[in-house]
Chains A and B, each alone.
Chain A
Amino acid sequence: MTPVLTVEKLSVEFDVATDGNWPWIPKRKLTAVRDVSFEVGSQETLGLVGESGSGKTTLIRAIAGTVPLSSGRILWEGEDLTHFDRRSRRQVRKDMAMIFQDPLAALNPRMTAGQIIAEPIRTHMPELSKAQIVTKVGEIMEKVGLLPNLANRYPHEFSGGQCQRIGIARALILNPKLVICDEPVAALDVSVRAQVVNLLKELQRELGMAMIFIAHDLSVIKHISTQIMVIYLGKVMELAPAKELLSHPIHPYTRALIASVPIPDPIEERARPRVILSGDLPSPLEIPKGCVFESRCPEARKECASIQPKPELYRTGHQVACPFQITETGIS
């Protein structure tokens, strides 16, 4: 079966003006995403992890078509999206939905919950009658755990968790094939976070859509993903099935990332060995010549400053962009 979405060698670059916006000063290139490849099938969830500034959002924007690509291809059910005209793009957009980080900011404050949820069907299925729209909205609201009689309320009357449910209802009303979630639970409280994560999982089981789930919190990603991709400064560091990535992380960055997630248990947490990365993400304007992670890597060697590691197959479905760690761990 062809996967819903295939991304091949995707790169996104931006032109940035430096030292004043003068026409005679050449623009500098900021590489936000470089050579990213992956695929997601229906019923699957790709978890995308990375620090702020690592290019997670740019990547999904490129997929959604709001940012132009510099190179690479995006295949939608096997067909190249980059060559689609506007009409077929629109068709694809119907099957691709997004859920955003700040639940309240993502909803128009002057529309009622019902209007917000109905907007996608009103644009994409104008043939439906008012009554049909109302029943559809009621159905989806029940599915996401909202009482249908709340449809006439405005976003500010809901709590954060409920607003996120409205966002989810709006994303799912057209039965999309792919749902892109950009940090959907980062702004929610712990007790509500679990509710929303479970809801998304349940809906996926029921509706069978593919998901791309961004979070900077590995413990949330772990609960929802089938595959996890770790990116750093726009490059893929490691891509593996979720369980394997967490139990056998190969790349030093993945290991450091896992080690810095605090465990809510005082005895285990204190007994854990510390891996603390020094420093911050390098500037994306001055991408290092060698491995992008070299400046903070605890395992860095001399060669790392000059070679650019590409993601290599470690074992089936598990790619790592660090040749030294692959040879050291050995192929088992």
Chain B
Amino acid sequence: MNLLDIRNLQVVFKTTTKPVHAVNGVSFHLDVGEILGVVGESGSGKSQMTFAMVGLHSKNAKVSGQALFEGVDLLELNEGELERIRATQIAMIFQNPMTALNPYLRISDQMAEILTFHQGMLKSQALMHCIHMLDVVQIPDAKNRLRMYPHEFSGGMRQRVLIAMALLCQPRILIADEPTTALDVTVQAQIVELLKNIRQEFGTAIILITHDLGLVAGMTDRIVVMYGGQVMESGTTESIFSSPEHPYTTALLDAVPRLDRDSDSLSVIAGDPLDVRDRWKGCPFEPRCEYHLPMCLQTRPPIETANGRIRACHVDRNLIGK
């Protein structure tokens, strides 16, 4: 059994004008101790998908489908049960480490609260655990740092504190939503190393949501590429990078500026990212796709599964990237 199994997940937002379809039937799975990369541009539904999975979606969203965590459908649970799962089994870290911490409380209070509330620990015992966890995420002088307020930490340090908080209850899954976007490259490298070590040490499965293909290349085992709230392609990291089988993936890989290649101008994906307010019958990437066929406009591409790879495209796989 997979640790997490998402089946045909849909998220629709009710708005005053017309419904917005943010996620349209996404399916994927996550194995124990695996790092899965979810790649997509803004508006691809990658964040909304994970929010819906753990019940953090906003009130006007309607979620359907299944999200099976060790066989239990997360979408059927009530708020109390979900809260327990979020605290102890599935933890999240967010993009902006500045806003995820309460500026009025010392780090010690914010961290210890999790353990006293969810595991019924005594405060003193909880603090010992927190110091240990701050050591794990390599915050020097953890004992004194614990008494500080969030503003006394730098951006990279705050992200470390958040990772430590997420790991306190030893979750099975860590969802990292753009964890390094707000950080500098040198600090990003530190955080990536840290996340890799955490997987080694605790066997935590990680879902890394990002738009940075470079980040995904170095640390994930498998990738899910999303566009317009749908999975375009998924497979092992090596296979996606070496032989992409979806026009969107090939275009995306070509458009990334690379430090190790000499080229005069970058290849470009024509057009703009799609507007989530629009509804389409066929493939969401059709207007920007260089391979597009007449049928792409009319029917949604079927999901093909072969050799552990999933792709949704009408175009023959042998034609792409040639």
Q: Which residues of A contact B (CB under 8 A)?
A: 51-52, 159-162, 189-195, 197-198, 201, 216-220, 222-223, 246, 256-270, 274, 276-278, 280-281
Contact = CB atoms under 8 A, between A and B. Distances in A.
B255 A261 contact: no
Contact of B187 (A219, A274, A280): A280
Interface in B246-282: 251-253, 255-260, 263, 265-269, 272-273, 275
Given A193-B255, A280-B154, A268 B268 contact: no
B156 interface: yes
B241 interface: yes
Interface residues of B, number: 46
Contacts of B187: 51, 280
Interface in B280-322: 288
A162 B272 contact: yes
B109 interface: no
A159 B266 contact: no
A269 B177 CA distance: 22
Nearest to B214: A262
A132 B227 CA distance: 43
Contact of B265 (A198, A266, A277, A281): A198
B258 A263 contact: yes
A189 B266 contact: no
5 contacts: A51-B184, A190-B211, A194-B268, A198-B268, A219-B258
A278 B190 contact: yes
B238 interface: yes
Interface of A is mostly: helix
Interface of B: 41-42, 154-157, 184-190, 192-193, 211-218, 237-238, 241-242, 251-253, 255-260, 263, 265-269, 272-273, 275, 288
A191 B185 contact: no
Contacts of A258: 259
A277 B186 contact: yes
B54 to A, nearest CB: 25
Nearest to B180: A262
Contacts of A220: 257
Contacts of B267: 194
Of the candidates B186, B189, B218, B268, the one having the most CB atoms from chain A within 10 angstroms of its own CB is B186
Contacts of A162: 272
B184 A216 contact: yes
B213 A260 contact: no
Given A191-B269, A222-B257, A246-B259, A266 B190 contact: no
Nearest to B44: A189
Contact of A190 (B156, B188, B190, B252): B252
Rank and list the top 8 A-B pairs by shortest CB-CB distance, nearest first. A262-B214, A260-B189, A191-B269, A194-B266, A269-B218, A51-B184, A219-B257, A189-B41
A268 B186 contact: no
